[in-house]
């Protein structure tokens, strides 16, 4: 069996002009969503805006510490934000970052 090497065209394959920090941000956002638990958290936040960690713990069959770690990754990637109110943090989607993500992905697909 002969293995054929793929050569990449010198012309860009899409209209996405992205590099540096923007590219790093886009990759981080994709990576964060690539985890099934984090994807479930995002789905939950779409229908339960400004919920607290305990709400997500009740929804998912995982420990509070694990939920907190997943929330940290989503926050660092720019998908969510948190507002601390007393001992609790209310989490919500970062609409501006989501719009930016949609725009960049729209150029690719």
Task: Give me the CATH number covering residue 74.
Answer: 1.10.10.10
Pick the closest to residue 68 from 41, 49, 47 (CA basis): 41
Note whether 59 and 74 are within 8 A (CB).
Answer: no
3 state DSSP class of 100: helix
Token pair listed for 58: 């009740």
Q: How confident is the model at residue 4 (pLDDT cuts 50, 70, 90)?
A: low
In a domain, residue 100? The reply is yes
Domain count, the chain: 1
Q: How confident is the model at residue 26 (pLDDT cuts 50, 70, 90)?
A: very high
Q: Which domain holds residue 79?
A: 20-108
For residue 14, being part of any structural domain is answered with no
Q: Is residue 3 part of a domain?
A: no
Q: In what order do the strands lie in the sheet with 88-93?
A: 51-52, 88-93, 80-85
Query: Considering the domain boundaries, does residue 9 fall inside one?
Result: no
Q: Is the pTM of the predicted complex or chain greater than 0.85?
A: no
Q: Is residue 11 part of a domain?
A: no
Mean pLDDT of 74-95: 94
- The Cα–Cα gap between 21 and 54 comes to 33
């Amino acid at each position: 069996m002969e293995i054929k090497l793929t050569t990449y065209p010198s012309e860009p394959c899409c209209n996405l002009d992205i590099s540096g920090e923007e590219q790093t941000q886009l990759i981080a956002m994709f990576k964060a969503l690539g985890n099934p638990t984090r994807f479930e958290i995002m789905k939950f936040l779409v229908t339960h805006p400004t919920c607290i960690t305990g709400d997500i713990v009740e929804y998912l069959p995982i420990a509070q510490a694990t939920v907190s770690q997943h929330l940290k990754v989503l926050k660092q990637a720019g998908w969510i934000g948190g507002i601390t109110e007393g001992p609790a943090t209310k989490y919500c989607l970062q609409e501006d970052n989501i719009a930016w993500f949609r725009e960049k992905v729209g150029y690719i697909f």
